[in-house]
Structures are given as C-alpha cells and as structure tokens.
Structure 1
Amino acid sequence: MRWSAGPPAKGYCRAIEAHRQAARPSLADPGIAEAVERQTAAMRALNRRAFPEPDFVPGDPPAPVEQVRLERTRRQAAPRRA
C-alpha cells in the first residue's frame, strides 16, 4: 500500500484537534523546570571539564596501538621523574 503525500483526512485532523483540546496542561512548576535546565547545563559543563575531548586533527591517521601505549607510559612516568 502506498501513502500519498497529500493532505491528511478531515476525520484525522478533527481527531488530532480534539486530542489537543482535551490534553491536560502541564502541572510542572515553571520554576522547577528552569532549575532543572540550569542544573543540567552545569552538569554538562562539569562533564566537559572532567572529560575533555581529545585533540583530533581531521585526516590524521590513527596512531598504532604500540605508539599509544608508549606515550601513555611516558606520561605516567613524567610525574615520577619530577
């Protein structure tokens, strides 16, 4: 069965409009919603600071596993040398 891109049936439009009118308004407190949005933004900022995205150069080939291990070992040994 093919669906046409034409306008929806009149009965469908009436049913949707009746549903919209019958839907209960949100009981959420706008102040609480704003506080949740602020908290979510703060958590995202903390997440970005705690787990920064690694520098990525487009077109750079991925490093071989051994090279990555060597660099990690060097980073871990650097504080011991200091």
Structure 2
Amino acid sequence: PPLQWTGNAIDLVELIYGIYEMGCINNGEMPLKQLAPLLYRIFGVEAKDCYRFYTDIKRRKTISHTHFLEQMQEKLNERIRRDEEAELKRR
C-alpha cells in the first residue's frame, strides 16, 4: 500500500527542510521547489505551500523552531538506549 503521512503537515515540512539543508538528496543539488512536491507525493500528501509552513516554523515562540526534529532525535536515542540495555542483559 502507498505510504501515508499521518503526522502534522508542518512536521513534514520541517523534515523536508531538514533533508534539504543536509543535502541528502542528489548531493544537495535538488532545489527545494522540486524536493517538497516529490516528498509530498511519496507520503500521499496533497501539495501544500511549504514556504508558508516554513514561515510558521520560524515564528514559533512557545516551542523550539525544530520541535519535530528534536522529538525525532529524542525518540531515536531512546530506542538506541533500550536496544543497548537489552543487549547487555543478554550477555
């Protein structure tokens, strides 16, 4: 079945900008205006104005500008710690 983004659209835009800024696609040679629609299509999201969402991200006052990416980092680090603990218990 096709992929379906079930998170908030603004979180997807935060992820898209992170990928873009890291230069992870085509050695950073793909313009954002091409990358965003491609990732929207992959995740089954109707085309959104990613620039408007980016403006909203920049305006965040009560949470970090990169709230979603920081949550992702925290969740992945928690997973790694759990896996490491499980490995130690098996030894």
Question: TM-score under structure 2 normalisation?
Answer: 0.28
Q: Identify the structure with bigger relative contact order (alpha carbons < 8 Å, sequence gap 6+).
A: 2
Q: If each structure's helix is expressed as a fraction of its own residues, which one has the higher value?
A: 2
In terms of Rg, which structure is larger? 1
